[in-house]
Chains A and B, each alone.
Chain A
């Protein structure tokens, strides 16, 4: 079975500090990879995605993620946290086939 692991269910950073949210997946072949953000009482919104090509992917709101095949990782980063970044973040994978698998989510708190 496929799995997606997000290390740290809660992450706190100071405003202006680096944001690093970790995602590891299990897949025998490189999957399609996604990061979504969920603000309170809302649905999920795509931050960025990796399908093929360049392994460093840039998304909205200054976020980026790097696909590392050797580490089966797709960590999300942002150089400088903003208060508006406080939300729940989900990593998702689509291996071969038509199913999507989500991680358990990381709640990001930004401290002023």
Chain B
């Protein structure tokens, strides 16, 4: 089944304790992205990756790191989490597309993170 998986789905941690949220897709998509969803703010893009070893900042990259060593995986790293990073996080992927078409993003189920 074509899908984007995220782990863990729920995480409660404390300020300053490094954590990684994994994201994996089995669709051979070039483009992968991380978003955070907050009430009243919608989804905001944190980082995205156009392909292996190619990453770029979205609108809210502060406090986050990413890496893209393999095409299928795109982990999100919080080196020193703070309470303002409490949020619902989504990973997404898509075929890169070109020309007149651009393929839609497929979203993972989300990771609910609470930082105390």
Contacts and interface: CB of A to CB of B under 8 A. Distances in A.
Interface of A: 4, 6, 9, 32, 34, 36, 41-46, 49, 51-53, 90, 92, 94, 98-105
A101 B45 contact: yes
Interface of B: 4, 31, 33, 35, 40-45, 48, 50, 56, 58-59, 90, 92, 100-102, 104-110
Contact of A45 (B42, B48, B58, B107): B107
B44 A43 contact: no
Given A43-B109, A51-B101, A102 B44 contact: yes
Contact of B31 (A32, A52, A98): A98
A2 B92 CA distance: 20
Question: Main secondary structure on chain B at its contact with chain A?
Answer: strand
Contacts of B92: 44
A76 B60 CA distance: 28
Contact of A104 (B40, B50, B107): B40
Given A52-B100, A99-B58, A90 B42 contact: yes
Given A98-B48, A100-B48, 19 more contacts: A32-B102, A34-B104, A43-B4, A43-B90, A43-B107, A43-B110, A44-B92, A46-B106, A49-B102, A51-B101, A52-B100, A92-B43, A98-B31, A99-B45, A100-B45, A101-B45, A102-B35, A102-B42, A104-B41
Contact of A102 (B40, B43, B48, B104): B43
A94 B108 contact: no
A98 B50 contact: yes
B42 A104 contact: yes
Given A9-B40, A43-B90, A90-B42, A100 B105 contact: yes
